[in-house]
């Protein structure tokens, strides 16, 4: 019997590649806001994968736990692993930041992740079967960037949550984060189509621009038994961007 992974943000560029990779050896519960896009993802999964669709808006905190618990009960499912890929990102200068923007960013990126873990480690709700969690963070969590103060702070908070849960829930559950650099996806294609931006990026990344598959491979490793002695860690996957002092 295959373990089951709950993947949030499955319809995003990185989320889709994670889903396809994990479908090789896991069953999946795919969440996202767009039911049509979730349905379009299913045919791309490996044949041996049983997948379930769970339309869910993580920015609506009041319904997150209720929606997931009801879904698990109706389908007689337990979750063994969680990948929190859902994210809210906008480049907004500090002078334009407001309460609504900050709340949506932190709610989607951090608070919802905390509630999902809370539910899944509850013996009554999930039979204490959760054993590995990966949060998709960002290399901005450690570096910083212009017009990214709120987003960057939310990812720093997500990594802080990861480290604290790694201590609190050890040895039963392992927690780690993957920190992607610039990754080429359908959502970012228009950015990389700009020759000036692409030239600058190529200079900053010793190994060149990354792809969503690179992030999916890292997630797959961290969920697996090959990473059994790894917890509380930030795995930066950015083609060397974070060590390139000339950039």
Catalytic residues: 151
Whether the Cβ atoms of residue 120 and residue 82 lie closer than 8 Å to each other: yes
Q: Which is it for strands 183-184 and 210-211: parallel, antiparallel or unpaired?
A: parallel
E strand map for 85-244 = 132-136, 174-180, 183-184, 210-211, 233-237
* SS3 letters across 213-246: HHHHHHHHHHHCHHHCCCCCEEEEECCCHHHCCC
Question: Strands across the sheet with 51-55, in order?
Answer: 51-55, 27-32, 4-8, 81-84, 132-136, 174-180, 233-237
């Amino acid at each position: 019997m295959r373990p089951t992974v709950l993947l949030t943000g499955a319809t995003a560029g990185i989320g889709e590649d994670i889903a396809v990779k994990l479908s090789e050896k896991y069953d999946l519960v795919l969440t996202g806001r767009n039911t049509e896009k979730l349905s379009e993802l299913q045919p791309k999964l490996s044949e041996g994968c049983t997948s379930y669709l769970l339309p869910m808006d993580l920015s609506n905190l009041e319904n997150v736990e209720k929606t997931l618990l009801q879904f698990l009960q109706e389908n007689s499912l337990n979750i063994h692993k969680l990948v929190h890929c859902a994210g809210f990102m906008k480049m907004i200068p500090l002078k334009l930041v407001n309460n609504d923007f900050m709340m949506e960013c932190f709610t989607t990126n951090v608070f919802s992740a905390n509630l999902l873990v809370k539910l899944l480690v509850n013996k009554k709700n999930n039979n204490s079967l959760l054993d590995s969690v990966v949060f998709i963070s960002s290399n901005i969590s450690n570096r910083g960037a212009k017009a990214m103060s709120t987003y960057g702070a939310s990812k720093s908070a997500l990594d802080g949550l990861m480290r604290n849960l790694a201590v609190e829930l050890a040895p039963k559950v392992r927690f780690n984060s993957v920190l992607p650099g610039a990754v080429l996806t359908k959502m970012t294609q228009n950015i990389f189509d700009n020759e000036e931006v692409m030239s600058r990026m190529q200079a900053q990344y010793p190994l060149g621009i990354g792809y969503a598959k690179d992030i999916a491979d890292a997630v797959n490793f961290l969920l697996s038994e090959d990473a059994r002695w790894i917890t509380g860690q930030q795995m930066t996957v950015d083609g060397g961007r974070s060590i390139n002092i000339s950039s």
